[in-house]
Structure 1
């Protein structure tokens, strides 16, 4: 007959095993399909201004068979009616991913937008031990399969009419307001060229835009500091997947870059050289096809409603909500 201690140990192991299986079933089979709109109100417009609705999309990591994700994204144009789209990269997740991207984003035609690249817009994902992320930001893997980033750019620019901000800047009209935006290519791969931005931003400032945005795929501190110093009114980024697997009550365990973990998802404030600006880091819609899991971190887009500084925010609004 087994001892009480032995029975307790077996019971404990059984409970731990059951929790582990349940967590895996939830993260792999359920939560990664629970697509969510994370909503924020941001009071940064001049007094008396009408609201501006910005849809922030990131890290779609699209594979052609992901029809559920495609249908959900395709419905956002009619559901949310945004005035502006900000896309922070990693749209592709497979060599044939553009087929799914088209199905997902075609309804956004005619809405002004900007975008930058993530590395997975250039290179297909490769199998990787997820435990390596705990050792720090991941490094690139040699000789990945190349993706057709040119076809992606042609679609986003020529068909959707969006402006590319990879180490570049642009100005355009959204909701009858002149918007300026600048950005960098994927800082995680060291493709960012922060040195080229100052003269570009100076040219934008000369146009007296109503708002100026900074856009990056990966929210590295050097990028956020530079964007803040260059006068961005708000900064948008992705890349982190919000940690992808979060600890309830704690948050992200990893960010895959050097941003503080408590800013790896959602709306926060970034401060550099005495200046503070709103920063929105999207947890993204997708995941690598080799890491098909989300836990305590639903796939998401962000709807940011920019309002006047004198706007009264309802008690249940302002800090963000999921619906």
Structure 2
């Protein structure tokens, strides 16, 4: 009987610890799915990438909205971005997470669609999300499954009717704020839709900025942009890791990019800069973020000069109440 009494005593003693762990897990789940997932932030970056003598250019980078029609708080926050009055808007895809989300995306972007803009699409513009085993994200070669088709043609038509330029597999040249920009993009490399040969070659040497666009920052595509002499490539897709650990950072990038470049500014090759947005949304089947707030980025591009360096600083627009959808 004594050994039974001792076992019971150990179980009683362990109960508070187990209860504490359960409470901690519940608090973490609440924080990541309700609070941080809706703690939208605006990241400011300054990058010296323009040709000498060019005027500074303010570029707003939006990516990975993964919009659902009922996500009113995210829609309201995104609609405030037009008050930034950027010179150029870049959208690197994954706007949709629902077949009826196109009106919500267009309404949220609002006045930004009246400003010069460029875009490429990601897989979640073409196909809806599906439930996945989260451990698959640790394997870059896992079998990909696609959900129902999404109305990407309607989204593209809405963007282009308002004046944004589709950079997918084409080279675009435009002048914004006195800055001559040449931009080229590829379709989503994450699902093997990229055809870099359609834009291959050195861009116009008279441009002040040579800009590459891709949804997923796959190294094979970044290498091609760098070899052709692009100054800056902008991408999304990684969600900044989405679930990160303090002092460790992102556990996965969901592509072949290394974890050190999962979000923000980095160098690629000898002279090209890479900017990866951590994005503003999540899949509805994985609605959580931890140590990785949803973000848009305002980049101030300046002329190259000796001693220039990029820097990051987070700023939040007015906080909105949390949503649980």
Q: TM-score, normalised by structure 1?
A: 0.90
Shift of 1:59: 0.4
Partners of 1:276 and 1:15 in 2: CA distance = 51
- With over 3 angstroms needed to count, the CA separation of the structure-2 counterparts of 1:16 and 1:134, relative to structure 1, is farther
Alignment of 1:285-300 (within 5 A): 285-300=280-295
Q: What is the CA deviation profile of residues 153-211 of structure 1, one whole-angstrom value per residue up to 9, with x for unaligned ones?
A: 1011112x11112122111111122110011000000000012222xx44x416x2111
Which stretch of structure 1 is more off in the superposition, 181-190 or 8-17? 8-17
- 2:197 aligns with 195
- 2:22 aligns with 17
- 1:84 aligns with 88
Count of residues in Structure 1 that have an aligned counterpart in Structure 2: 310
Shift of 1:312: 8.6
Shift of 1:21: 1.1
CA RMSD after TM alignment: 2.0
- 2:214 aligns with 216
Shift of 1:5: 5.5
Partners of 1:18 and 1:77 in 2: CA distance = 41
Shift of 1:133: 1.2
Partners of 1:296 and 1:137 in 2: CA distance = 26
Assess if the C-alpha contact under 8 Å between 1:138 and 1:256 holds in 2.
no
Q: What is the CA deviation profile of residues 50-99 of structure 1, one whole-angstrom value per residue up to 9, with x for unaligned ones?
A: 32111000000111111111111111111x22111111000111001101
Assess if the C-alpha contact under 8 Å between 1:243 and 1:252 holds in 2.
yes
Structure exhibiting the larger radius of gyration computed from Cα positions: 2
Assess if the C-alpha contact under 8 Å between 1:136 and 1:257 holds in 2.
yes
Partners of 1:138 and 1:60 in 2: CA distance = 24
- 2:323 aligns with none
SS at match of 1:306: strand
- 2:40 aligns with 35
Q: Which of 45, 49, 55 matches 2:50?
A: 45
Q: Which of 110, 113, 116 matches 1:109?
A: 113
Shift of 1:6: 4.7
Q: TM-score, normalised by structure 2?
A: 0.90
Assess if the C-alpha contact under 8 Å between 1:41 and 1:306 holds in 2.
yes
- With over 3 angstroms needed to count, the CA separation of the structure-2 counterparts of 1:312 and 1:223, relative to structure 1, is closer
Assess if the C-alpha contact under 8 Å between 1:35 and 1:299 holds in 2.
yes
Shift of 1:16: 2.4
- 1:130 aligns with 134
- 1:181 aligns with 183
Q: Which of 313, 319, 324 matches 1:321?
A: 313
SS at match of 1:93: coil
> What are structure 1's unaligned runs of at least 5 residues?
none
> What are structure 2's unaligned runs of at least 5 residues?
316-325
Assess if the C-alpha contact under 8 Å between 1:42 and 1:306 holds in 2.
yes
